[in-house]
Amino acid sequence: MKMLLLVVIYWTVTSFVASASTKQRIYYGEAELVQQLLTNPSQWMYVQENVDGFYVNFIEMDDILTVDELSDFFKLFKNKSAYYESDADPHHQPLEKDKTAIDVLHRVGWNITYTSQNYGWTVERDEILGYYNLTEHVRRRPDCVQLGPWTLSGNISNNAGTGPYSNAQYRAWINQTDGVSTDGPLGFWQINFQQVREGSYSAVQFAHRLGKSAAVMLCPYGAGVPTYNSTRDFLTVGISAIQGHEDNDADPDIWIIFEYADSSIPAVPEQINDYPANSTTGMAFYALKHRDGIPKTLDLYIDEGKVGQYVFVRESNSVDMTIHSNVPVGTARNYTLQVADYSSWLDYAAQIRAFAIGNPTSAWKISYTIDGVDITSDIGNTDGFVFVRKNRLQPKTIQSINISFFRTSTIVNNMTLIIELSPHRGSAVIDSLRILC
């Protein structure tokens, strides 16, 4: 009994921590232009090295990719995780074929880290996707409900939906399983076809409110809308879709960059002179750089004295600045924290966090404002303060945060304040400051 209780507590604690600030995942795949990827492996090496895994759907598994091609992709991807998309309708995909797909993926060597069901959701298929030949070291493989956000007629929480299933049905399925996964033709995004944007934002928000995962697809397909042939400016529209989700409290846990039914956008190259190319690997290249950062393009420093400017990696435990305590109660020491984006093209939805180590009861009251708005509680939170909307770090710009130290006691209680900057929520810290006060 005691063991069981401990296990339950352990699970709760770890999953809470995970949802607080987990690194975003990025999966990449391509349905039509697989040959372009396999014959030009040197043109998308950054993506191979850095994505979290390979995205593949049931049609590809059944009809497009040979086992040899799957093996070739397996060798190219550094991370051996696969996201397998199936279809709930047995007329589209007989249940047995999912077993075959799982067996083939396993035989090649892939770990299946996510699965999804398009066109509905059934318990029978969930049994297979979640548990069939569960060689992955997890309780079950996560299985998400895939939907087209343009069919939600707006907000998944409030509107009825246009089908194939009602929004109420989608909500119930998402609640029942591991989360939501979207289909995402960017042609629809560009013209906001049937309020696809509100649909996509609200689906992410709904899943997050239930503590479930949300995966959003970016793909260059017009999906037969007569007024829209296919996505032309794939990269530009894709970047605006990423920023739109971030700016609307709908940053997903996973970006899926996947092409199907539209070969007009090339798969490679991923970059031209280090700028993302207008290709599907180029879209993944942008998403990865936006998440992980380009070294030395994000700088956190104190404007007064330029403390920490151009210093990105330091000796651990060295102190950047000391605020002396021999001052009367009521003294304020005000500084400006600068967050600079030196990149010529890359924007960041960066995350800044501050916490104290050492003596927990400081004699300073520390507060932070940005443009006059108090962000003290955000910055002290696990999720930190995120630079989105008007605060987004645009290329070649600097954002300022005012930090105020207000002396509240004469007791000398030294502590170290650590301020950390990450290029994105949950990403590795790329610059920090240590202030002794």
Q: Point out which residues bind ligand NAG (CB under 6 A).
A: 25, 52-53, 79-81, 103, 106-107, 109, 111, 113, 133, 135-137, 155, 157-158, 171, 175, 198, 201-202, 205, 227-229, 232-234, 236, 248, 264-265, 278, 322, 324-325, 332, 334, 336, 367, 369, 372, 402, 404, 414
Q: Which is nearer to ligand NAG, 122 or 264 (CB)?
A: 264
Q: Which is nearer to ligand NAG, 49 or 296 (CB)?
A: 49
Q: Which is nearer to ligand NAG, 50 or 93 (CB)?
A: 50
Closest approach, Cβ 404 to ligand NAG, in A, equals 3
Q: Which is nearer to ligand NAG, 183 or 253 (CB)?
A: 253
Q: Which is nearer to ligand NAG, 107 or 296 (CB)?
A: 107
Q: Which is nearer to ligand NAG, 281 or 325 (CB)?
A: 325
Q: Which is nearer to ligand NAG, 350 or 435 (CB)?
A: 435
Residue type (1 letter), 270: E
Closest approach, Cβ 2 to ligand NAG, in A, equals 26
Closest approach, Cβ 197 to ligand NAG, in A, equals 8
Closest approach, Cβ 367 to ligand NAG, in A, equals 6
Closest approach, Cβ 421 to ligand NAG, in A, equals 19
Closest approach, Cβ 99 to ligand NAG, in A, equals 8
Closest approach, Cβ 383 to ligand NAG, in A, equals 18
Closest approach, Cβ 315 to ligand NAG, in A, equals 18
Q: Which is nearer to ligand NAG, 2 or 324 (CB)?
A: 324
